[in-house]
Structures are given as structure tokens and as C-alpha cells.
Amino acid sequence: MRNIIATNNSNKNKFSNPPGSPIRRGGSKDLFKFIFSSMFKKHKEDFPEDHVLEKQQALAQLNNASNYSITWLGHAAFLIKLNGYFIVTDPFLSKNAGPGFLGPKREIYPPLDLNELPKIDIIVISHNHYDHLDSKVIKNFPNKENVKVIVPLGLSDFFIKRGFSNVTEMDWWQEIDIDGITIGCLPCVHFSGRSLFDRNRTLWASFSIKDESKRIWFSGDTAYGEIFKEIGKKEESFDLALIGIGAYEPRDFMRSVHATPEEAIHIATDIKATKTIGMHWGTIRLTPEPFFEPPKRFKQAAKDQKYGEENAMILKIGETVNI
């Protein structure tokens, strides 16, 4: 079943960022030069042993968590537990981010496989890029007849063709209630596309996930924009934000696509988030900045901007914390 909440979006063929959003600098020639140089450039870095939990430790934390908890599965994939309901965001768990064997290769694997996670009640997808919408995971996802899928406009067919029975498309500023959990589709600054021919044909979004006790905001992929101040005015506040802090270089191209760690703290402040977990780093190499630079800059930015270093949280892959 496909549900499309009535939309005010007047352009059904192509979507765009909120007014006043940053615009990419540099031409297409420079962009393709960057992409191809990144694909074939060799990177050698040592990964700290404690960056990923051992499987048994990850399972123990997950099983002993409270009724309100969150587990980082790497990149933008989180398992959120709200009063016994399990929600997964952008479950990219495969070896590479691309069609078939193409695309950037995963550097770090999560300690938990899809079949080791609890039964998922809700899937939330922010947009259709390969490192967020993982076709291999979606194809093999269990419980397709019962799990509820929330996607931005234009993405329901992707799931229906793969056997899901309950898919809801949403436009920015819309909300849906699922058994006492309110999920809101909110703007962000990014783009969409899985080929050269479908750029911006489907919507991209951030999401609020709320119940009577907790309020969470998931950024999806986003650059910084004035739109977050508007979200902060319209939303009460958030107990926790999940915000991307990696894949930000070179700035000429990435300023309109991904926030820097410093901008992530600005976003958290704009939306009035008490605590923030930095995501979208330390899993797959998309851009040339040092692999473990983002969390250092994130913590320093929180200190410099008086957000509070203790409120800018960095998790290990597989780690579960109570909300």
C-alpha cells in the first residue's frame, strides 16, 4: 500500500533546496575531476581498535538498554528505541555505496548484522543516495509485510517493488502518527539522484521523531542553511539531534551538500537540540579529509561555540546509549 500525504509542492518533476541555501562553486569539469581522483586515490590510515565494538559487547549493550535508547550502526544508520518501538534510519550496511560492486568501499563494518537487530517497526529514509538507501539491505529486509516505511516524495515505488506493504511518502512540514510516535518530514539542504539522469527527481529530507517523552531530530544528509533557524522556531526543541559531521572537503563542492563539524554545532543550536550525536563519518570514505578528523573538530566546535563539549557526543560503531 502506498500512502502519499497531500502535498503543497508545486513542482512534481524536480525538487530544490529551501530559498537562501548555499550553492555549489566550481563547474562540472572540476566536479568530475574531483570524483575520479577520489575514486582512485589510495588512503592509508590506522583505525583505532576501539572505534568499533566487539559483537558480544554490542549485543549486550543493546539487550540491556532502557526503553529509550539509540545504537549507532555506522554512517547515518541508527537503531532508535522509543518506548519499545524500534526505528531504523538510513540502514546502509553493505560493502559499497553504489550499484553492484561500484562506488566507495566501506572501510569499517558494523558488529551487528541485519538479522541480529530486533524486529524493526519503522524504517525512515532521508534520500536516495547509495550510502543512505541501500538496495541490498532493502531487498533482504525481514518483516516487509508489517514494517512501516517513511520516505520523502518520490521514493515509495522503490520499496513497493521490493515487496514492502506499507509505505508513506511525505513532503516537508508534514507529520504522521504511528501508534503514538509522531514522525515529521522537515527540510534540509542536499540533493538526490542514483544516476546521471534522475538528479533531484525525488525529495530529500530531515526528520523529527517524537513521542510523549522524547524528541529526536535526524538530519539525513545536509549542508548548513538558514532553514534550520526556521525549524527551530516551528519546533519546540529536541532532546537529541543526529547530525552529519563528515564528508565536507573540498568546500567548493561540499558547501552545498554536507556541513562541516562546526556547522553541525550551528545546526544543533538553531534547532534547539540539547545533545547531538555526530554521524556520517568513520565508516566509508567519500571525501579527502582525514578519516578521524571530524569528531575532533566537532568536539572543539562545541567547546568554542559554548554548546558544551559533553553535549557533542561521539559513539563507537555498535555502541548503544540511553536517551
Name 243's bridge partners: 278
Grade residue 5 by pLDDT with cuts at 50, 70 and 90: low
Q: Determine the Cα–Cα distance for residues 279 and 261; give it in Å rounded to an integer.
A: 10
Q: Which three cell numbers stand for residue 315?
A: 559513539
Lowest mean pLDDT among 1-5, 34-38, 123-127, 286-290: 34-38
pLDDT reading at 31 higher than 70: no
Closest by CA to 193, choosing from 184, 182, 201, is 201
Mean pLDDT of 109-117: 95
Which residue type sits at 201? Answer: R
Find cell 503543497 and name the residue.
8
Banded model confidence at residue 24, pLDDT cuts 50, 70, 90 = confident
Domain boundaries, the chain: 60-322
CATH of 60-322, one of 3.60.15.10, 3.40.50.1370, 3.40.50.2300, 1.10.1380.10: 3.60.15.10
Residues facing residue 216 across a β-bridge = 209, 240
pLDDT band at 45 (very low <50, low <70, confident <90, very high): low
pLDDT tops 50 at residue 6: no
Q: Over pLDDT 90: what percentage of the chain?
A: 85
The DSSP call for residue 111 is S
pLDDT per position as a tens digit, 196-252: 889 999 999 999 999 999 999 999 999 999 999 999 999 989 999 999 999 999 999
pTM of the model: 0.93
